[in-house]
Structure 1
Amino acid sequence: MAKMKKTEPGFEGSMQELEKIVGQLETGELPLEEALELFEQGIGLARRCQLQLEDAERKVELLLRERGEIKAVPFSSQKSVQNDSPNNNGDHDDSEDDDEEEDENSDGSVPF
């Protein structure tokens, strides 16, 4: 009989496990050694989730770039911050690109 490979949990599974660990640590009732062990596991899960998110971001950006649909905008950018932030000259950028971004986002697409 073929042996089953041990696969890492997906993003959602890792997040659920991380939430469980955080809940256990927040009780404050664990012995120090057990708390440290759980903390170490939590750090590993958090890193795994971060890598999975970065990988997904790269894939989506690549797909959008291949189709030439949307210019890249960092995930951390917020629309209100973008509209109020000055461009490189210190002036507000009132170009037509802002209108295009609003159209692209209003159709449900993810800003990249």
Structure 2
Amino acid sequence: MSSEGAEETFEASTERLAKIVEELEQGDLPLERALALFEEGVKLARRAQERIDQAEKRVEELLGFDTSGQPVAKPMQASTEEEP
């Protein structure tokens, strides 16, 4: 796929992660291949979470401005409703 350290979009990362999960769930992989896929998946998941964290921070910064025109951060509320 792409070289280590190359920036991928969030969508490309999550798409690759889904393919990794699908391949691992088949369960017929040699141990070394399964470990390599698992490691790649963990790295992708961490990068995706970092991007989500950055996006949340940016949204917080854009929610409002104070009297001097500076952005006012309002903490995002975590949803308490469970997704179906």
Structure 1 residues without counterparts, runs of 5 or longer: 1-5, 80-112
- Whose radius of gyration is greater, 1 or 2? 1
Q: Hey, what does 1:66 align to over in structure 2? A: 65
Decide whether aligned partners of structure 1 residues 15 and 43 sit closer, same or farther in structure 2, where only a CA change above 3 A counts.
Answer: same
How far residue 15 of structure 1 moved from its aligned partner, in angstroms, is 0.1
Q: 1:56: which partner in 2?
A: 55
Aligned length: 73
Match of 2:26 in 1: 27
Q: Higher helix share goes to which structure?
A: 1
Q: Which residue of 2 aligns with 1:98?
A: none
Moved over 2 A (4+): 65-74, 76-79
Change (3 A) 1:8 1:34: same
Aligned partner letter, 1:8:
E
User: Structure 2 stretches of 5 or more lacking a match?
Assistant: none
For 1:62 and 1:69, the matched residues in 2 are separated by: 6
TM-score where L is the length of structure 2:
0.75
